[in-house]
A and B are shown apart, each in its own frame.
Chain A
Amino acid sequence: MTDAVVVQGPSEGNEAIAVRDLSKRFEDVQAVDGVSFTVERGELFGFLGPNGAGKTTTINLLTGLARPDAGSVRVGGIDCTGRPRAAQHLVGVVPDESNLYPELTGYENLCFCAALYGMPRDERRERARELLKTFALAGASDRKFAGYSKGMKRKLTIAAGIIHRPEILFLDEPTTGIDVASARQLRQLVADLHDGGTTIFLTTHYIEEAERLCDRIAFIVSGRIVRIDSVGRLLEPVKKKHVVRVSFSSAPGDLTGGLRESFPELHAQLAGDEVIRVESDGPVRVGPLIRFLEDRGAEVTEARRVRPSLEDVFVEITGLEADAMRREKEKKGGGQ
Chain B
Amino acid sequence: MKLWTAFLNILAKDMRTYYLKPPNVSWGLIFPLAWTGMFFVRSGSGLESIPTLLPGVVAVSVLFGTTSMLAVTVTFEKKNRSFERLLLAPIPLELLMLAKTSGAILFGVANAFVPVLLAAFLADLSGLAWGTFVPAVALIAVASTFLGLFIAVAVSEVFEAQTFSNFLRFPMIFLCGLFFPIAKLPVFLRPLSYALPLTYGADLLHGSVHGAHSMPFALDFAILGAFCVALFAASLVNIRRKWIA
Contact = CB atoms under 8 A, between A and B. Distances in A.
Interface string B67-82: 0000000000000111
Contact of B245 (A66, A91, A115): A66
A97 B9 contact: no
A126 interface: no
B117 interface: no
Contacts of A120: 5
Nearest to B80: A99
A322 B85 CA distance: 32
Given A103-B17, A118-B1, A88 B88 contact: yes
B124 interface: no
B74 to A, nearest CB: 14
Contacts of A104: 13, 17
Interface in B135-191: none
Interface string A62-100: 011111000000000000000011001101010101011
Contacts of B10: 116
A101 interface: yes
Given A64-B244, A66-B245, A112-B13, A99 B85 contact: yes
Contact of A100 (B1, B82, B90): B82
Nearest to B243: A65
A29 B9 CA distance: 39
B151 to A, nearest CB: 22
B212 interface: no
B5 A64 contact: no
Interface residues of B, number: 24
Interface string A101-115: 111100000001101
Interface in A149-170: 160
Contact of A113 (B1, B2, B17, B85): B85
Nearest to A161: B88
Contact of A115 (B5, B82, B84): B5
A115 B6 contact: yes
Contacts of A160: 85
Interface in B45-104: 80-82, 84-91, 93
22 contacts: A64-B87, A64-B244, A65-B87, A65-B243, A66-B244, A66-B245, A67-B244, A67-B245, A88-B89, A91-B88, A99-B81, A100-B82, A102-B80, A104-B17, A115-B5, A115-B6, A116-B6, A116-B86, A116-B89, A118-B2, A118-B6, A119-B5
Given A85-B93, A88-B89, A99-B85, 15 more contacts: A64-B88, A65-B243, A66-B245, A84-B244, A88-B88, A89-B90, A95-B81, A97-B81, A101-B17, A104-B13, A104-B17, A112-B13, A117-B6, A118-B1, A118-B6
Interface of B: 1-3, 5-6, 9-10, 13, 17, 80-82, 84-91, 93, 243-245
The 10 closest A-B pairs by CB, nearest first: A118-B2, A115-B9, A116-B89, A89-B90, A99-B81, A88-B90, A118-B5, A103-B17, A99-B82, A116-B6
